[in-house]
Each structure stands twice: as structure tokens, then as C-alpha cells.
Amino acid sequence: MKNMISPSILASDYANLESELKRINHSDLIHIDVMDGHFVPNITIGAPVVKALKRVCDIPFDVHLMISNPIDYVEDFAEAGADIICFHTESSSDTAQTIDKILSLGKKAALAVKPNTGIDEVLPFLDKLSMVLVMTVEPGFGGQSFMHEVMPKIEKIREKNRDIDVEVDGGINEETVKIAAKAGANVFVAGSAVFKAETPNEMIDKLRTNADL
Ligand code: DX5
Ligand code: ZN
């Protein structure tokens, strides 16, 4: 599996998003955290901002919907330029219907699970998904500590499917990236680690090198 780094712009300077994207042009994907103030306590950005960013960035967009009713919004995000649309199994939308809607819009579908949600929730859908996102922190905030106890869920998905992308999100840094890679993850979201680094592109390269170890 190819290891990929997907920096989360949640930790970037929202006043200068275009130049922030240039500082991370070594990325494989761009992780965009969409929060609705209901599924999680915060509110971040929506489809109009994704659409504007698409005009200034060629790297594929990995859009992480932390929203209660994803099925009502996948069309907006598809039109805005999302390449991968990821929603939570804990949301109130029907999982199978939401995946089918994403696929019918010609986008890749991904399913996310919070730390306390069992991985059995995603297993029935693996065939249709491009990626599973295993949260390694409680969704809603950047800058939290990596939860090691979630690693067995990654091992289980990898055991069931050798080809699917398995993404980890939360608390990824130069050290924890190695632990997640060992468990079988191959897509690594990093917000604080990348944007707090003096040279974000160097940190992206370093994370990829460490994942490959
Ligand atoms: C948390 C978000 C993450 C967050 C990760 O709800 O889904 O993508 O930006 O931030 P760090 O890397 O700082 O833990
Ligand atoms: Zn995220």
C-alpha cells in the first residue's frame, strides 16, 4: 500500500488559506474538516470554501464530514470539488444510502468511526468504500493526543481487506505515524504536526519517511 500524508487545514491560518496550501504542496491529499456544531461542538467550513480552495489547489481533497446529516450535503461537497467524501457511521444518515449517493456522484466514499465505535459497523460496507477513517482522537478538535488503544481496529480492517485505504486522524506526529503504519494504516492525517512545523513540507516528507520505515 502506498503511504499518503493528508494534512488537515484545521490547524492552518484561515486568513491565508491559499498561501497555506502552497506551504503543504508535498501532500498526497488535503484533509478538510467540516464540522456542523451539532455532530461535534465546533463549526468550521462548508462547501463554498471547499469550492474556492479547489480553484487554487490541484491536490485531491479528502473531505471529512463531522456533520449529523451527511446525506443532505454530499451533493454540495461533490459539486464543490471533494474527491473523497468521508462521513461518520455514528451520523443519523443511512450508511448504505449515503455511500450509494456519493458513488452516484462519481466520488470516492469513505466511512469514519469514532474511537469508541466498534469496527464491525464498517465491515459490511468495505466492498463499496475506497477508505475507512479510524479516528485516533474524539472528533471535534485539533491538537489532542493519539489514542493507542484504537490500533486493533486498524489491524482488523487490514486483515479483512488488503487493498482498502485505512486512514488515521488525530494526534499524528513523527512518532505516532510509525505506530499507526505498523498497525496497517496507510493514510495519515496531521494537523498540528504539519502546521506547527517551521517548514510544513519538510514535516510532510518526514512523516512519509517514518510511515515507510
Ligand atoms: C479532529 C479532526 C482532525 C484534526 C487533527 O476532529 O478530524 O482532522 O484536524 O488534528 P491534529 O493532527 O492536530 O490532531
Ligand atoms: Zn479530520
Q: pLDDT tens for residues 38-49?
A: 999 999 999 999
Select from 38, 40, 169 the residue to mutate for testing ligand 1; criterion: most ligand atoms less than 8 Å from CB.
169
Task: Say what the pLDDT of residue 1 is.
Answer: 87
For residue 207 and ligand 1, the question of a CB distance below 6 A is answered with no
For residue 45 and ligand 1, the question of a CB distance below 6 A is answered with no
Task: Calculate what percentage of the chain has a pLDDT beyond 70.
Answer: 100
Closest CA to 103 of 130, 67, 122: 130
Cβ proximity of 155 and 183 under 8 Å:
yes
Q: Indicate whether 150 pLDDT > 90.
A: yes
How many beta carbons lie within 10 A of that of residue 213, not counting itself? 9
Contacts of 177 by beta carbon, 8 Å cutoff, 6+ apart: 188, 190, 207, 210, 211
The per-residue pLDDT for range 2-56, each reduced to its tens digit, is 999 999 999 999 999 999 999 999 999 999 999 999 999 999 999 999 999 999 9
Closest ligand (CA of 190): 1
Q: What is the reported pTM?
A: 0.98
Per-residue burial over 109-133, b if 16 or more Cβ lie within 10 Å, else e, is bbbbbbeebebeebeebeeebbbbb
For residue 62 and ligand 1, the question of a CB distance below 6 A is answered with no
Scan for cell 474524539, then name that residue.
138
The per-residue pLDDT for range 158-210, each reduced to its tens digit, is 999 889 999 999 999 999 999 999 999 999 999 999 999 999 999 999 999 99
Long-range contacts of 205-209 (CB under 8 A, 24+ apart): 205/26, 206/174, 207/5, 207/172, 207/173, 207/174, 207/177, 208/3, 208/4, 208/5
How many beta carbons lie within 10 A of that of residue 196, not counting itself? 13
Please compute, for residue 103, the number of CA atoms within 13 A of its CA located in the half-sphere on the CB side.
14
Tell me, yes or no, if 33 is annotated catalytic. Answer: yes
